[in-house]
Structures are given as C-alpha cells and as structure tokens.
Structure 1
Amino acid sequence: MGCICSRETVQINSRKYYVRERLGEGGFSTVDLVEDAHSHKIYAVKKIICHGEADQKVAMKEVEYYGLLKHPNVIECFDSALKAGPNPFLNSTSEVMIVLPYYKSGTLASELERRSVRREYMSSAEILSMFLQICEGVKAFHEAKPEPLSHRDLKTANILISGDRSPIIMDLGSVAVARVKVCGSSEAQQLQDLASERCSMSYRAPELFNVESYCMIDERTDIWSLGCVLYAMCYFKSPFDAVYERGDSVALAAISGNITFPESSPYNSEIHELILYMLKANPMERPYIYSVIEKTHDVISTIEVKA
C-alpha cells in the first residue's frame, strides 16, 4: 500500500485531486478518474494537450460551450483551468483541464457491446424513451444562442448513461457553429479535413465526406448521426460499422443512402421508418430536430396503442 503523498495529483484552481486511473485517451486529450482531496468525491478530469495557439483556442471554445449548454441530457462542467507554459514531457505549449461528472455505468457504446455478446435487445419502449432524451439534448445545441450549434460527433461512445438510465451527451470537443456557408474549394477542403479529424466515420453525414465548393452545411449533420445512433441502439452497431470493418468505403455507402435492416428484427416497421426518416443522404430532405422529436412521440404512441 503506497503512501497517499506519493499519488499523482492534479491542481485545478484552488482544488487538489488525486488521480485514481486513466479512463480514456484520444488523439487530442486524456480523461482520468480523480478524487477530490478534500471532499473525496469522484470526478472525471479531461486534459486537452495544446500544441500551439490554435489548439488552445479550440480547447477554450470547448470550455465556453459547457457554459452555454445547460440541459439535463448534456454533460455539465464543474470547473476548468488553463495551465499555460510548455511541458517538455507532453511536447505541449499549454494544457486545458476540465472537471466533469463521473458516470460509473459508462457509455451507451459499452452497454451495446455487452448486449451484443448475448444478443440481448432493448425493448422498443426503452429505446424510444432514451432516444427521445438524446433528441432533447441535441435540441439544446440546435437552439443555442447567439447562433445554433452542431455537436458534429454524435455517436454511442459519446453518450453516457446516468444512474437513472438517462442518456448524457458528452465530448464537446467537436462542437461547431451549425450553419456554415461554404464559398470556394479551399473552404470546402478545410471543412472536409476538420470533419475527417473530428467526426467519427460510421456516424458522419454524407455532406461532410465530400464537401461541395459552394454549399450550406447546417445542424442536420447531427440528424444523420442521430439516425445512426438509433440504428445502433436497435442492432448494437451503426449501419456503417460493417462497411468500415470490411474495409469498404463508408463515404460511398453513406452517400448511396442504402440502409438495410436484419431480417430477424425484433422491432416493428415504425422504428425502421423513424431511422430512415433521419438517414436521408440529401441534407435538404432531412428533418430538423423538432420534427424528429414529434415523429418519435408518434411512434411511442403507436407502440403503446398496439401493446
């Protein structure tokens, strides 16, 4: 048993935390499970490593978005700090640290993985109840002031499950202003590169794979991702995961908009129609979040009547 004073500690503003374990690691950040040295409460600390001013600006923007988005289905931020100055061990110029709640149930992705092994499907009622809450969280992004925001990386791995089984949208690192007018090939390429860096392939909207030189991108990129999330809640994986695993082109599969459902599906046609309603390859044919919520309520009512 090691002495408590030998534990790795993190200082964020006036509070000290003991690092208990590493929860996750990405290309831009790490997440540690920590214990408040004073209250002994457990938190997750996200540490974003910045390699220059541009990185730092993006990280601080993420902190700003936590302040803007106050919703029960969007993760909250308890505290944050910018640690300026170079760190030769991390090859960084600064670090941004964000104190977040810790959910011991983990992510929707990890639950679906466990269920997949046992082929243990969720009931239609549970799926739709959870999905409706995810939609309400997404609506908070799309209604943000002064201008609508898009999450841009909605996927089952970015949805946590709270103690009462509520879904909590996390990871605001990919959040961006929703409505982007693209004027010219260099702007299109810039947005395409950003999407390939920050938006997971199996959940990425078709218009972000091949951004046209003159177009309008809006919050309906998230609606496509929501369609993929609902499909995964039913069948454990996004409709494009199998394409990715085979090494085939996810971009071509998404642009074709050809979605198939397992023959032995335990779900009725209304749920399939709701998924297809969101997975329109042409973004102009895709609904806004309000229509998705309305249609989800309709499907819930239909299922209740049939039951």
Structure 2
Amino acid sequence: MNSLGWAIIFKMGCLCTKESININGTKYIVLDHIAQGGFSLIDLVENSITRKRYALKRITCYSIDDQNIGMREIEICRKINHENVVQVVDYVLKGSADIVINTTSQLYMVLPYYKNGSLQDHLNIRARTKDFMPEAQVLQLFLGICEGVKALHDAKPEPLAHRDLKTANICLTDTFEPVIVDLGSATEARVQICGQQDAQRLQELAEERCSIVYRAPELFSVQSYCMIDERTDIWSLGCVLYAMCFFKCPFDPIYEKGDSVALAVLSGNIHFPEDSAYTHDLQDLVLFMMRLNPMERPFIYSVIEKAQDLVSKLESRV
C-alpha cells in the first residue's frame, strides 16, 4: 500500500478513536483541551446528536471529601439560578473514591461553552495594543459581574461567597455578558472563627483554593477570634475592576517579581498609573471595595449603587 493509503487509514483511525463520554444517556465527543486547573480538567465537547458544543469539567476525586466538594459545586450552581452565574447542564459521578484502598472516582460536569473565553483572555488581547476599554463599557461589564455576586450573596438560607473571584473566572457570552464560573471554592460566606485551630484551617483552605493576587487580606492572616463574611468577595471584586481598567490586578506585578504578595496586600496600598485614562470616580470605586478592614468594606448592594451612580454621571455628560 502506498504512503497516501496509509495516511488515510491513520487519519480515519484518529477520527474514529476520538474520546467519547456518556453522561446519563447522552454521548459527548471530546474535541479539544481548554484548560487545566488545580483540581480539574476542562475539555471542549460536542453532543453527538445535536452537535452543540459544551465545556466538560472533569474532577478526579481521591476521597469521599473530594466527591463531596465536587457535588457541592453542582448543588451551588443549581441553587443560584441567575444569568450571570454559570449553570450546570448535566453531570455524572463514575467510580468510587476510597483513599484507603487507593481508588478514585471521576465527576463529570457538562457546562455551557463560552467561545469568547474569559474576561482575562479579553484583557490579554487588549493589553497587547494598550486598547483600554471605555469607562462606560467597563462599568456595564462590572455591573453584570456585580449582579452575579449579588445572587451568591443573596442565597438562602445562608449567603454564599465565591472566594476565588478573578478575571479568569468570569466568562463572556456571545453578547459580551459576564458569567461567573468555577464555583469549586464557593462556600457559606459567614464563618465564625473561634480559636487558633479554626483560624489555621481557614487560612490553609484559602491558600489552597483562593488565587493569591485576588485574595482578601483577612484570609492571609486569619485572626483567632473573628467573623469572616461575604466581603472577602468585595475585595476580589475591587481587584477585578482594577484589572478591567489596567489589564492586571494591583498585585500581579508583585507576584511576577517574586516579592511577597501577602505583605503588599496587608499594606493596603493601591497604586494607580499616573497616566490613567479613567476618572477619579472610578478609582474611588476600586478603593471603596479594597478597604483593608473587612468590617469597613461595603456589601454588594452599596457597590452596585455606587457603580450605577457613576453610569448616570457619565450619561449626563453626553
């Protein structure tokens, strides 16, 4: 057989051996690898019948605790029925995790596929040519993110906190609406810390699951007796708004230089570029959210109100 014949056979073999996954009777074909996180893999998949594309999140569970965390993410996604928070299309748990006998399980979550990628992807493209978003567009996007955060903070019976809000965890729909994704770190927002053991446990959890440059100061050095609440997200939201304006969050340069992010965050100093194209009002909104003392930080309602006031102010100038 000539080389062309072999090439055709190898190509056909490749097409025929594409991985497929059955989830509750629906077959999904794996098309591409999208991303890899600390606890999961995300692939681009296609429904074999409808040809509609989705993102498939795979979580390898090494213990019952891992399974519970994954199932908790699904539970939260389904509880928060809001257009600015990701929804789970379908899921299945395969296998049984048991750390004693060294077996694992796989949790598969079918999620919407956002072809525009994340807000971070969008900012990276703009950063190459220093293409700053107009302030009105920044505020419009930001208010959509705030509505998603509000849906989490308004959850019943207890408020929820995302605890890993960042530009990479905000996807953009076809109409450029923001959607908060990756609720794997989401948890009950209000935690009463009673003693050093509680403080150490929360601090270790934050180190494991909250991105360092977006992490609220109270999670770097958890006090032995304190209340942690949903305003951890408000600090992160301030970092997100800063990044929307200047392509990076305030502490990215510190991290990139290898300096201590913890010291930088706990200093509470937020620096804005001198040649900023944005109004002082927008910078004040960032500072309003990034108050070092969490008890002085606003709740999401006040953030939305202040952002809406800025939109009205901009519109009145037109």
**Is TM-score (shorter-chain normalized) higher than 0.5?**
yes
What is the correspondence of 1:1-307 to structure 2 with a 5 Å cutoff?
1-3=11-13, 4-85=15-96, 93-307=104-318
- Determine helix, strand or coil for the equivalent of 1:2: helix
- Determine helix, strand or coil for the equivalent of 1:128: helix
Larger Rg, first or second structure (1 or 2): 2
Q: 1:109 & 1:2 partners in 2: Cα distance?
A: 37
Q: 2:48 & 2:150 partners in 1: Cα distance?
A: 37
| Alignment check: 8 A CA contact 1:107 1:161 kept | yes
Q: 1:70 & 1:24 partners in 2: Cα distance?
A: 25
What TM-score, normalized to structure 1?
0.97
Structure 2 counterpart of 1:2, one-letter code: M
Structure 2 counterpart of 1:223, one-letter code: I
Shift of 1:92: 5.1
| Alignment check: 8 A CA contact 1:23 1:31 kept | yes
Structure 1 counterpart of 2:12, one-letter code: G
Shift of 1:52: 0.6
| Alignment check: 8 A CA contact 1:244 1:250 kept | yes
| Alignment check: 8 A CA contact 2:173 2:179 kept | yes
Shift of 1:95: 1.1
Shift of 1:148: 0.4
Q: Which runs of 5+ in 2 are unaligned?
A: 1-10
| Alignment check: 8 A CA contact 2:63 2:97 kept | no
Q: 1:140 & 1:100 partners in 2: Cα distance?
A: 19
Q: 2:303 & 2:175 partners in 1: Cα distance?
A: 24
What TM-score, normalized to structure 2?
0.94
Structure 1 counterpart of 2:138, one-letter code: I
Structure 2 counterpart of 1:195, one-letter code: A
Shift of 1:138: 0.2
- Determine helix, strand or coil for the equivalent of 1:80: strand
- Determine helix, strand or coil for the equivalent of 2:85: coil
- Report how many aligned residue pairs link the two structures: 304
| Alignment check: 8 A CA contact 1:49 1:92 kept | no
Deviations 1:257-292 (A, max 9, x none): 101100110001000000000000100000000000
Distance 1:92 1:169, change over 3 A: farther
Structure 2 counterpart of 1:49, one-letter code: T
Distance 1:281 1:92, change over 3 A: farther
| Alignment check: 8 A CA contact 1:73 1:167 kept | yes
Q: Which runs of 5+ in 1 are unaligned?
A: none
Q: 2:281 & 2:151 partners in 1: Cα distance?
A: 26
Identity of aligned residues (%): 55
Q: 1:262 & 1:109 partners in 2: Cα distance?
A: 20
Give the ranges of 4+ consecutive aligned residues of structure 1 lying more than 2 Å apart after TM superposition.
1-5
Shift of 1:306: 2.5
Structure 2 counterpart of 1:12, one-letter code: I
Q: 1:13 & 1:195 partners in 2: Cα distance?
A: 34
